[in-house]
Chains A and B, each alone.
Chain A
Amino acid sequence: MGGYSISDLWSIVVMQGFSGLSLFSVLLLMALGLAIIFGQMGVINMAHGEFMTIGAYTIYLFSKVTEQYFPALMPYYFVIAIFAAFGIAFAAGYLVEYLLIRHLYKRPLDTLLATWGLSLIMQQIFRTVFGAREVSATLPDWLMGSWKPTPDIDIPLNGLFVMGISVVVTAAVILFLYRSTWGLRVRATTQNRVMAGSVGINTKKIDRVTFAVGCGIAGIAGATFTTIASTGPTSGSLYIVDTFLVVVFGGAGSVVGTVSSAFSIAQAQSILTFFLTNAMGKVVTLLTIIIILMLRPEGLFTSKVRK
């Protein structure tokens, strides 16, 4: 790239690196909830995107209510709303597991169809309640704009925020799965349901809470994405294919796998879109994933699950 000064190029490299990292955290946040649901439980939740939309609309509602009644709290509502997004999506997930998913554990391919149906219903509910138009939450000022470490470098604050959330959520998921008694039970159930049941683990309850936690994380993801993307009845469907690819590429059932697959997909896509066009970058990334998956069908990291 002739004609650019060294400092120009340097700031581009920094910002480009950051935009890769920021895409990485987006993919990671999308995929974590699904990694739990699909990886641990084998349920294909096609309505994952709609649980994200629940989170996004939660932020929207909180922003409107705060603006109307507690304008003084505007700078802080976002944090509270994220917890609420988790709570509401968790509750919705809990209900869905109870009404729908638990009847289908023996037929994983059927969960795919049922949850697709669920996603259609949820989209229509969003449309009826919030209208067909896109909405936009008023974001607090500290989430807007950029941080300028040098005059040429702009680091987006919302990108930093998404990154922060995804680090926190990932840490929480790892603690939950690998350091808590609950996680121990979840993993035991995944590895051998019958055996887990026979040592006194309430596997049904485990399933329900695991599913709900996965949905809750989707809610957090959706809430966080209001800072970078749109909120409408069908917004969630934009993410579903990418989300599944990240999980499958990483190897189902492995959190480390999900993290590394999100990282490699994000970096590849980010660098390719810089040098190619946006659309071609995406196609090349997807093709590469497919080819690698054909060579390594179980994904990057295979968890050792009894067959």
Chain B
Amino acid sequence: MNAFYSNWLGGKKGAIELAILAAFIFIVMPLWLDIFRLNLVGKYLTYAFAAVGLVMVWGYGGILSLGQGVFFGLGGYCMAMYLKLEASDPVSTAHQTTPGIPDFMDWNQVTQLPLFWEPFHSLIFTLAAVIMVPLVLAYVISTAMFKRRVGGVYFSIITQAIAAILTILVVGQQGMTGGINGITDLKTLHGWNINTESAKYILYYVNGALLLGVIMLCRFILSSKFGRLLLAMRDKEDRVRFSGYDVANFKIFTFSMGAMISAIGGAMFILQVGFMSPSLIGIVPSIEMVIFAAIGGRVSLVGAVYGTLLVNYGKSAFSESFPSLWLLFMGALFIGVVMFFPNGLAGLYDVYLKGRVESLAGKFKKKNPPAILTPAKTELQNEL
């Protein structure tokens, strides 16, 4: 129990943070917002998975992935394929040339379900694929790169190229993927209508619970010896290597885990939004996910969630009232967070609110002050 408390929840401080976040997600939001807005928050929270993954990969691992959207998207596509097959039963697609296949295949003169779609009739397989497909891809990419000590900027650019390639592939193979339209008009999950109001509430809560679970899992990993090695690696990779550790394996593990976390978010996205679009695997969302994590503070798992919510709230609010100012605001946000608040929301919290929160928590002394250096202190030469 005690180990659970200190490792999974992150001690007193971590437990309070989690409790506040949980209260915010589970109580404040549903009471405050109507179902439409709550569903939007649910959608934003699915991006938070990707942001939390990035905190692990980038904040702690020092690897800036510009391809996080790829894994988010792959998770989403796996889920969407299952839902689409369910929505394309022979009865409701009877007017098609080939009934029983998804509508976009019919438009593209595909007359038989492609082989790789077949297993997605099974929910169990789909759930496994949501995790495994991105995981395997991440493993292959990261093994190829980290074993050869590709890192830093190169890695970022290559992940970005992968996002570009995958988008071209998905858009180009529209008979099998739905192309630029994506996979639309999804209705049921194993017979359960995901578009009803009650389903939306349930999915929102499931999503929130999964997110908290993922954060706790990350906490657990970070509180282990592995977590400390990860930090050491980020700040002085060579020293860790010279101490006899295989740096590459740690990086591969972190990167793959980040991918898996994003993929869960992608699958939840599909369930709450009801369709999949290739624009989600492209370059732009991947970079936006990085800014979510950066706004949150890079090394703060909980901060990443708030960062995601804040940026997306800003995006919605601004584009409703001043559509043309939105890009200026977003651009200023990118620059501002990098120039003036490199530690993001978590940094602001540390400076302005931390003292008060702690005194509220009963003047409790922290046992382990987290010795986390910001990436700002790493040297130029290391990155290059």
Direct contact of A and B (CB under 8 A): yes
Interface size of A by Cβ–Cβ distance < 8 Å? 45
Known: A283-B169, A286-B165. A114 touches B375 (CB 8 A): no
Known: A279-B172, A287-B165, A297-B150. A100 touches B335 (CB 8 A): yes
Known: A109-B64, A117-B332, A245-B161. A294 touches B150 (CB 8 A): yes
Q: Is the CB of A106 within 8 A of B376?
A: yes
A108: contacting residue among B324, B332, B334, B383, CB under 8 A: B383
Best-buried of B148, B335, B339, B375 by chain A (most CB within 10 Å): B335
CA distance A305 to B152 in the complex (A): 16
Q: Measured between C-beta atoms, what is the minimum distance from A293 to chain B in Å? A: 6
Known: A241-B283, A248-B154. A109 touches B330 (CB 8 A): no
Q: Measured between C-beta atoms, what is the minimum distance from A89 to chain B in Å? A: 19
Q: Is the CB of B294 within 8 A of A106?
A: no
Q: Is the CB of A244 within 8 A of B338?
A: no
B162: contacting residue among A100, A108, A290, A295, CB under 8 A: A290
Cβ–Cβ < 8 Å partners of A113 in chain B? 287, 290-291, 294, 334, 337-338
Look across to chain A and name the residue whose beta carbon is closest to the beta carbon of B162.
A290
Cβ–Cβ < 8 Å partners of B66 in chain A? 112
A117: contacting residue among B161, B335, B378, B380, CB under 8 A: B335
A107 within 8 A of B: yes
Look across to chain A and name the residue whose beta carbon is closest to the beta carbon of B333.
A117
Known: A119-B331, A120-B330, A241-B283. A283 touches B165 (CB 8 A): yes
Look across to chain A and name the residue whose beta carbon is closest to the beta carbon of B326.
A124
User: Mostly helix, strand, loop or mixed at chain B's interface?
Assistant: helix
B157: contacting residue among A128, A248, A286, A294, CB under 8 A: A248
Q: Is the CB of B327 within 8 A of A120?
A: yes
Give the bracket for the number of chain B residues in contact with chain A. 35 or more
Known: A112-B64, A113-B290, A245-B161. A124 touches B324 (CB 8 A): yes
Query: What 0/1 pattern do residues 93 to 116 of A give for CB contact below 8 A with B?
Result: 000000010011111111011101
* Pair count A-B, CB < 8 A: 132
Q: Is the CB of A116 within 8 A of B327?
A: no
A127 within 8 A of B: yes
Cβ–Cβ < 8 Å partners of B145 in chain A? 294, 297
Best-buried of A120, A244, A245 by chain B (most CB within 10 Å): A120
Q: Is the CB of A109 within 8 A of B153?
A: yes
Query: What 0/1 pattern do residues 152 to 177 of B give for CB contact below 8 A with A?
Result: 11101110111011001101100000
Look across to chain B and name the residue whose beta carbon is closest to the beta carbon of A123.
B327
CA distance A44 to B64 in the complex (A): 13
Q: Is the CB of B156 within 8 A of A109?
A: yes
Known: A103-B339, A110-B342, A280-B172. A244 touches B331 (CB 8 A): no
A133 within 8 A of B: no
B379 within 8 A of A: yes
CA distance A94 to B238 in the complex (A): 36
CA distance A87 to B148 in the complex (A): 42
Cβ–Cβ < 8 Å partners of B334 in chain A? 113-114, 116-118, 120
Cβ–Cβ < 8 Å partners of A289 in chain B? 161
Look across to chain A and name the residue whose beta carbon is closest to the beta carbon of B147.
A294
Q: Measured between C-beta atoms, what is the minimum distance from A242 to chain B in Å? A: 9
B351 within 8 A of A: no
In the complex, 20 of the A-B residue pairs with CB atoms within 8 angstroms, ordered by the A residue number, are A38-B153, A42-B384, A44-B157, A108-B380, A108-B384, A109-B152, A110-B376, A113-B337, A114-B338, A116-B334, A118-B335, A119-B331, A121-B331, A241-B161, A283-B165, A286-B168, A293-B150, A294-B145, A297-B145, A297-B149
List the 9 closest A-B pairs by CB distance, nearest first: A117-B334, A121-B331, A120-B331, A297-B150, A124-B327, A117-B331, A294-B144, A117-B335, A114-B338
